[in-house]
């Protein structure tokens, strides 16, 4: 009987958490009656019910709010540098998959994977700051587009391998990593452009 009651309690508790809206677990209350039966509810109907979870300050960045901040920074950088937001978003996805704390084996940092020397050139103080990284990366990408007369493929290649490598090879450098990178960015770019046109 005790095992059956415990199973029922665990099932009810799990169901309440699973069916609740995000963050609703903070509004879960319990009450143990005279027979020892625990009652659970998401509404504190009377003073016998006590919170199951203590309210705590929300984390600085949840996945949802971080992505919102990234998207907002992309749109601002797009306007600031007269650059297609779909292209910035494609580069961010290819470089870091939207992880502001990404660091590559070569030492590139942040959302747009700025190398330390590039970050210094662009006067970046904190490469892991979402807005600062995206603004600087977008500026650097725009410089490549200006140099290569708006050719997206060459500009993306220059972003990855360096402008001098593109100039030296007279096109996309024959590096496997760069060729794969350009194809990936262009595929993401076309996908994001289709999405933006559907709205």
- Residues with Cβ < 8 Å from 1, sequence gap 6 or more? none
Query: How far is it, in rounded angstroms, from Cα 160 to Cα 150?
Result: 16
b/e per residue, 144-158, with b = 16+ CB within 10 A?
bbeebeeebbbbbbb
Q: Which residues pair with 117 in a beta bridge?
A: none
Query: How far is it, in rounded angstroms, from Cα 26 to Cα 16?
Result: 12
For 187, the 3-state DSSP assignment is helix
Q: Which sign, positive or negative, has the C-alpha torsion 189, 191, 192, 194?
A: positive
26, 95, 117, 131: the catalytic one is: 95
Q: Is 117 a catalytic residue?
A: no
What residues are annotated to the active site?
95
């Amino acid at each position: 009987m005790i095992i059956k009651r415990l199973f029922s309690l665990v099932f009810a508790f799990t169901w309440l958490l699973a069916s609740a809206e995000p963050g609703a677990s903070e509004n879960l209350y319990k009450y143990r009656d005279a027979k020892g039966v625990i009652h659970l509810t998401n509404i504190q109907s009377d003073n016998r019910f006590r919170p199951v979870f203590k309210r705590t300050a929300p984390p600085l960045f949840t996945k949802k709010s971080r992505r919102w901040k990234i998207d907002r920074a992309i749109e601002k950088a797009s306007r600031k540098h007269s650059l297609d937001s779909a292209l910035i978003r494609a580069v961010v996805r290819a470089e870091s998959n939207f992880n502001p704390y990404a660091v590559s084996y070569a030492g590139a940092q942040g959302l747009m994977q700025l190398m330390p020397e590039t970050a210094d050139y662009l006067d970046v103080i904190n490469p892991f700051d979402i807005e600062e990284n995206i603004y600087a990366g977008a500026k650097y990408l725009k410089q490549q587009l200006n140099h290569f007369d708006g050719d997206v493929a060459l500009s993306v290649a220059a972003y990855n391998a360096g402008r001098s490598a593109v100039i030296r090879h007279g096109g996309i450098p024959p590096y496997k990593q760069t060729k794969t990178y350009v194809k990936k960015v262009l595929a993401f770019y076309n996908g994001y452009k289709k999405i933006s046109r559907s709205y």
